[in-house]
Structure 1
């Protein structure tokens, strides 16, 4: 029998249920990836993310070739073409079964449904799995059988389902045929170097081991400090599927025989972050309008944003006059990645200080982040803007100066990214305009007054809420 594995954003052989099931049940295997250039452009794939994806596709192609399986990369314009192309391949290769992992956002959901429908019409069986997330959205329900809108009860229910939702531990894959050669592919579109991130499976798994055996134990104390290397840095690999969430959850299971109970505080805190990832994925599945730029709290779409383009440009380039905001944006622009605490600070500043539509920031992040995940990015922006489910209350407005003092007290992170401030003493680093007043400096003064803008935001948001 012949089967086909359809890879998407799950570019791994290790701990991939679609792969293991195909491997165990088919004598001959083919593999395919669709390069959907137009859809990726519409979905704001960052050039650095595109480069990481290309590099991992080539690494996966080589891994498959060594096991005697051909990976075919087929270029189409958009998702809508995938179903017809896939069925055509199956007919040409006498393939009877297709294996893939489903994805949650609405366009991906429609694509996967179309593939399953076309296959059924042509008597091709489909085997669909949930290896992009830890627990399927249909399983995590309230007592009334609906989806959770609040994270804390979601987390409690999600944790109880973790152990039973994990597929069997992965086993090694035996070769299907003699080793083959693999010709590297070059994907279309602009790409920026992602070489700071490995795409080698063994190297990635070493990083997983190092974090889950050591760094995670102190995660709760260091995760908010952008100058420290205390987060996992797994997010780019999660986004393209170079590693799966099940792999890292298993690592936590190994540390506690009573899992999910018995974890230390660092492990528990990190597990909750993995749950937030699933929470936002589930919301995409249950609430399709989120994929169309709509706020979860629908009345907030009536907010009258100022949308000043000059202020937006200053925010994008890291020239707002607020050092912690500027440091975060410059880190993003230079590396394609930003510390999570800084994502919250910069997002809050754009929305609640500059009064710019959160969708502008959401799009800019997607266009620049190596780990640009639509569910997580959308969820994070709606949380910061107080438009999402279980979002930060609208009256909680981050004070960028206080956030800076709290999470970068010595200004180490600021000085590493805002070179104009490298010689500013600690006393002035969080609000340098007084120190720089009589000095030659290219660093801008604050483009807005935080207190004034905060009041403007609160007044309008309150009127909408009381509408």
Structure 2
């Protein structure tokens, strides 16, 4: 029986159950990837993410050809065209089973349901695996059998489920006779250079090894200091599935025989980040309205946001007059990545200081992030805006100057990204305007809003929907 694997957000050979199952035959499977560029644009994919995907596709194609598996890449502009294209692919290759790793957001679920309906007409089976998560939606339930709406109890139960799973060896694909890799088609959309991020599964595994071996012990403290490279830098690889969560979790096993319990602080904190990633995907699966731009806390959809286009543009361009905010936004637009602490600070500022609809910021992040993941980005924005599950309480409004003093005390991160402030002494760097006014030249912008006023405005607006 001829098997196929349809690659999506799982561009790897290690710990890929769909690929492993499709390869569990005497003859090699055939592999397909669809470039749905018009749908990607509708989903706000960043040009740097497209470039990173393309480079990882090339690496995967080469890696598969060495194992004797041919990966075909087709341009199929929209998700709605995939069912017909996949049926033709299966007919051409005499396929009886197609293996996939599930995706959990609404458009992807609808696409897969449509594919299943079309293939079943030809008696072709669509076999679903859960290689993109450690724990599939539905495996983590409350005592009442419901999904978790809060992270802390989810994390507790999720770890119990992980602990109960069989700790298997890495799942490898046995080699068939090597074949030559075919050419990728031309990329049909704009790309932004992602070469700062090495592409390919081996590079991702090397980054993981470097992080676990040298950085994870300090992760709990270092992850909050944006001037240091204290994070794993694996999010872009996880978003495209170049590395799987099973591989990432297995790397932590060495720290504790009772895994996922008994881990030292840094490793435990990083595992919690993997749990957050899974929590947001579970929520997307169980709460379809999250895929439609709606808030988890439905009453907050009635907030009256300001039509503040000038403020939004100044935020996008890193010209708010708040150095830590501007540094974060400039890092994002320049590199396609932003430190996680800065993602929280900049999001909080847009929503609570400028009273701009969080959905505008959510879309802007996706349009620029190399690691843009819809569930994680949506969850983070709803958290920052106090409209999501587990959200930061609405009355907690970050003071950008205090955040700056706390997490960038010497101003090193600010000076790296806001070069107008190169000469500002450290004691003035977080709120530099009074010092700058005494200088002969000053080309740094004035604050777009006064924080104390903005805080009161936000609280008044939010109370109207929270308390009627």
- TM above 0.5, yes or no, is yes
Q: How many residues align?
A: 467
- What corresponds to 1:444 in structure 2? 445
> 1:45-124 alignment to 2 at 5 Å?
45-124=45-124
User: For the Cα contact (< 8 Å) 1:54–1:186, is it kept in 2?
Assistant: no
User: For the Cα contact (< 8 Å) 2:71–2:181, is it kept in 1?
Assistant: no
- What corresponds to 2:12 in structure 1? 12
Deviations 1:246-288 (A, max 9, x none): 1010111222111111100111111111100001001100000
- What corresponds to 1:174 in structure 2? 174
- What corresponds to 1:219 in structure 2? 219
Separation (CA, whole Å) in 2 of partners of 1:151 and 1:67: 40
Secondary structure class of the residue paired with 2:35: strand
User: For the Cα contact (< 8 Å) 1:3–1:26, is it kept in 2?
Assistant: no
- What corresponds to 1:463 in structure 2? 464
Deviations 1:3-36 (A, max 9, x none): 1010001111111111111112352310000111
User: For the Cα contact (< 8 Å) 1:69–1:180, is it kept in 2?
Assistant: no
User: For the Cα contact (< 8 Å) 1:351–1:357, is it kept in 2?
Assistant: yes
Any gaps of 5 or more consecutive residues in structure 2?
none
Separation (CA, whole Å) in 2 of partners of 1:185 and 1:166: 41
Separation (CA, whole Å) in 1 of partners of 2:192 and 2:93: 36
Distance 1:21 1:276, change over 3 A: same
Secondary structure class of the residue paired with 1:254: helix
- What corresponds to 2:427 in structure 1? 427
The alpha-carbon deviation at position 83 of structure 1 amounts to: 1.4
The alpha-carbon deviation at position 121 of structure 1 amounts to: 2.4
- What corresponds to 1:314 in structure 2? 314
Stretch of structure 1 that moved more, 79-88 or 5-14 = 79-88
Separation (CA, whole Å) in 2 of partners of 1:360 and 1:178: 48
Secondary structure class of the residue paired with 2:351: helix
Deviations 1:345-382 (A, max 9, x none): 00000000001000010000000000010000000000
- What corresponds to 1:343 in structure 2? 343
Separation (CA, whole Å) in 2 of partners of 1:303 and 1:60: 45
Stretch of structure 1 that moved more, 196-205 or 158-167 = 158-167
User: For the Cα contact (< 8 Å) 1:327–1:417, is it kept in 2?
Assistant: yes
Separation (CA, whole Å) in 1 of partners of 2:129 and 2:165: 11
Distance 1:366 1:181, change over 3 A: closer
Separation (CA, whole Å) in 2 of partners of 1:166 and 1:199: 31
- What corresponds to 2:239 in structure 1? 239
Separation (CA, whole Å) in 1 of partners of 2:125 and 2:303: 48
User: For the Cα contact (< 8 Å) 2:72–2:182, is it kept in 1?
Assistant: no
Deviations 1:280-320 (A, max 9, x none): 00110000001010011111111111131111110000000
Separation (CA, whole Å) in 2 of partners of 1:155 and 1:413: 32
- What corresponds to 1:131 in structure 2? 131
The alpha-carbon deviation at position 167 of structure 1 amounts to: 7.2
Separation (CA, whole Å) in 2 of partners of 1:378 and 1:345: 15
The alpha-carbon deviation at position 185 of structure 1 amounts to: 3.5
Stretch of structure 1 that moved more, 161-170 or 427-436 = 161-170
Distance 1:141 1:172, change over 3 A: closer
TM-score scaled to structure 1, two decimals?
0.98
- Runs of 4 or more, structure 1, over 6 Å off, are none
Separation (CA, whole Å) in 2 of partners of 1:441 and 1:16: 55
Secondary structure class of the residue paired with 1:291: helix
User: For the Cα contact (< 8 Å) 1:166–1:246, is it kept in 2?
Assistant: no
User: For the Cα contact (< 8 Å) 2:322–2:447, is it kept in 1?
Assistant: yes
- What corresponds to 1:388 in structure 2? 388
Separation (CA, whole Å) in 1 of partners of 2:172 and 2:299: 52
User: How large is the Cα RMSD of the aligned pairs?
Assistant: 1.2
Separation (CA, whole Å) in 1 of partners of 2:115 and 2:463: 46
The alpha-carbon deviation at position 166 of structure 1 amounts to: 6.3
Stretch of structure 1 that moved more, 166-175 or 136-145 = 166-175
The alpha-carbon deviation at position 202 of structure 1 amounts to: 1.9
Separation (CA, whole Å) in 2 of partners of 1:165 and 1:42: 37
- What corresponds to 2:330 in structure 1? 330
User: For the Cα contact (< 8 Å) 1:105–1:281, is it kept in 2?
Assistant: yes
Secondary structure class of the residue paired with 1:368: coil
Secondary structure class of the residue paired with 1:83: helix
